[in-house]
Amino acid sequence: MTQAAIEKENKLIAQEYKELLRISYQTLTDEDKTLIRSAFEVAVDAHKNQRRKSGEAYIFHPIAVAKIVASEIGLDAVSIASALLHDVVEDTEYTLDDLDRMFGETVARIVDGLTKIAHLKKEMNISQQAENFRKMLLTLNDDVRVIIIKIADRYHNMLTMDSMPEHKQVKIASETLYIYAPLAHRIGLYNIKTELEDLSLKYTEPEVYNSIKDKIEESKEEQQAYIDAFSATIDNSLKKEGLNYIIKGRMKSIFSMRRKMLAQNVTYEEIYDKFAIRIIYESDAQNEKFLAWKIYSIVTDHFTPNPVRLRDWISSPKSTGYEALHITVMGPQGKWVEVQIRSERMHEIAEKGYAAHFKYKHGNQKEQGIEVWLNKLQEALENANTNAVDFVEEFKLNLYSKEIFVFTPKGDLKSLPKGATPLDFSFNIHTEVGMRTRGAKVNGKLVPLNTTLQSGDQVEIITSEQARPNQNWLDYATTARARAKIKSVLREEKKSVAEEGKEILRRKLKSQKINLNEDSINKMVTYFKLKTSLDLFYRVGIGSIDNTMLKDFASSYNNAFISFFKNRMRRTPAPEEINKDEITSKYDMLVFGKEEEKLEYKLSQCCNPIPGDSVFGFVSVSEGIKVHKKNCPNAISLQSNYAYRIITAKWIDSSQQEYQADIELTGIDNLGLINDITEVISDIMHVNMRNLNFSTDGGTFKGKITVVVKNKSILKKLTDNLKEIHGIDKVTRI
């Protein structure tokens, strides 16, 4: 570079620094400015020899991130300084100890958290992405500002990706949609969330992005004319009330337009609610709610409201802290328009999220919404023993989900994700309540545990000391917290049953003159087409591998199976030589969705899933459902860009599948007989009953019971136990 070019660049850097101080949302004290100046000087020195791929000096990047943190997010001086220094430890000779000495423990801790996230990239490949996301979330426990600055860093990277190769653009954009946009949404950074989504679409589907963008540009004048017509209708009425306000029109984002077009299968022109109108009014704290409803009254005097589209987030703010009244009215030219009514304070919270809460809370009092969320996050991380992709999918669901508000029997208000069930509610109250759930009442009526709750429902949980989570609960629960707890209990129960099964197996093999050792266990796992020894012991424990099956194994073990096994062990087949028909004899069925439907599908070539693998279905345009492994190289990309086309899938192990059976009982009626029957079924055998019907006639009784069992051996054991009850004459399966 020439001397003139260097001087010009230095002048630009100085201008950017002054702009950073000027646009800060927070009021900066002299002490704040000194801290930011010192951080700026260290950052300039540390990055003096570095340039970005675009060719510009690297220092412009940390300054840009600091400007986003200062203005668009609105954090404090410590955050601005940390943003300026966020790449210093990662990319230069400065150490954390240096930063601790120069700027104090808080700045050093935040930069350390950001450096940990940066280090994750070094080991990055697609299959590890979900695990890295989990590790990244752990930094939230140190300081929430770590993740907020990281979102700002990602936002600026997305704004400056044009100089990158296309494959990197798509990868970073997919990761942004998959991870950072939902996080920004949850922390309340709605503007940045929208920008991240739009920028991601720009790189993942550039033709679609540019097409919608051009159409929005073409209709700008028409939109403004419509907003002016709407404003003119209510302007006089608002002024008569002495209100100070502004009316703004806001176009829906390109990404949300695209989502609507896909969801409703319509063209851009056919979307009827392309923009929203905001009325932002001045108010002191005491009159905020009163004025919001006064404005609501004025708007609905002039325009007919849609009664089912009222959203009152002033009385019950979202858990992100968002407050506003949303109404949809029939506007000029017979078009539906969403009107958002906010005070200036509410508007700042909607724009700045976390930072605005601090401004209005004053002092060091922490904002409860973010604290409650962080506590739940930490609990989810601590209990996340599932595979990382499952964890991220469930966690992301909770990040992005809309909220409902339900009441406890005492009238306390609880926030839950949309689609939550009474089981989710019980775990939200307390883990122990969740674990002991026997049933639930919604608005005073007994309902199934998989009932979808609606805003305004009053929910009462019925508990029992005998109640325990079972496999069906995973189909009933939707929140990450509830599912993690249920899975944890089921894993422990499986281990307990497996321990008993191991001892049963040892005794049964001994009678066949076979020792239970590593060799015989491995051969049984292969023989029964299982994945692990734990599966083997568990199936013996529940009786799905019975005496007959073990005798068959013993016979083959002592004869043909030994030579077959030795031949197999002498050479390892290449992947294409593996006989999938053998493997599928146990995992013989793939089912889709919550209803576990049997649908036509094809196994994808990119990851070659085999029965037993963790998989998901992808609804392709021309080839129907394609099945991919959850750790498939394309999984993140598919789930980031085409979430609406993903369908859950799992292999059904025939020994684990549950069957419904009807049992008929006859005998002599006596006091307490039904109690004895239900005790055998529920308490002794731990079998679920779906239906119970008894009738008596002249001292005799006839009953029909529908039960759900895993296999015939359990059903036989159940019928044998029922025959032992005093008074029962006959037990038959219908």
Q: Which residues are catalytic?
A: 90-91
Q: What are phi and psi of 398, to 5 degrees?
A: -70, -30
Q: How far is CA 661 from CA 509, 691, 733, in A?
A: 31, 10, 7
Give the list of residues 6+ apart from residue 541 with CB closer than 8 angstroms, or none. Answer: 497, 498, 499, 500, 501, 502, 504
Give the contacts of 533 (CB within 8 A, at least 6 positions apart).
Answer: 521, 522, 525
User: CA dihedral defined by 222, 223, 226, 230, rounded to 10 degrees?
Assistant: -170
- SS3 (DSSP) at 321: coil
Q: What is the DSSP string of 351-405?
A: HHTHHHHHHHH-TTPPPHHHHHHHHHHHHHHHT--S-HHHHHHHHHHHHH--EEE
Going by C-alpha positions, the residue among 584, 583, 601, 581 that lies closest to residue 593 is 601
Q: Tokens 């939230």 map to which residue?
A: 140
Is residue 516 helix, strand or coil? coil
**Residue 539, exposed/middle/buried by CB under 10 A (0-12, 13-18, 19+)?**
buried
**E strands, 546-611, in order:** 589-592, 601-603
The DSSP 8-state label assigned to residue 488 in this structure reads H
Bridge partners of 403, per DSSP, are: 417
What phi and psi, each to the nearest 5 degrees, are found at residue 285?
-60, -35
Q: Give the Cα separation of 12 and 378 in Å (integer).
A: 43
Residue that the structure tokens 């146990």 belong to: 586
Please list the residues that pair with 707 across neighbouring strands: 661, 689
d(CA 350, CA 308): 23
Q: Using alpha carbons only, what angle is made at residue 522 by residues 516 and 527, rounded to the nearest 5 degrees? A: 105
Both tokens of 26, joined, read: 């927070």
Using the CB atoms, write b or e for 53-89: b if 16+ within 10 Å. eeeebbbbbbbbbbbbbbbbbbbbbbbbbbbbbbbbb
Contact criterion met (CB below 8 Å) for 343 and 356: no
What does each C-alpha distance from 433 to 375, 443, 479, 566 come to in angstroms? 18, 19, 15, 53
In this structure, the number of other CB atoms found within 10 A of the CB of residue 153 comes to: 23
Residues 6+ apart with CB under 8 A from 343: 280, 281, 282, 283, 288, 291, 292
Q: Are 599 and 652 in contact (CB under 8 A)?
A: no
CA-based angle 21:25:26, to the nearest 5? 85
Quick count: other Cβ atoms within 10 Å of Cβ 127? 17
**Which candidate, 543, 547, 553, places its Cα nearest to that of 712?**
543
Across the strands, what pairs with 593? none
- Helix extents (H) in 139-165: 144-159
CA atoms of 734 and 720, how far apart (whole Å): 15
In Å, what is the CA distance from 386 to each residue of 91, 178, 616?
Answer: 34, 19, 16
d(CA 649, CA 636): 16
Give Cβ neighbours of residue 347 (< 8 Å, ≥ 6 apart): 278, 280
With beta carbons less than 8 A apart as the criterion, state whether 508 and 541 touch.
no
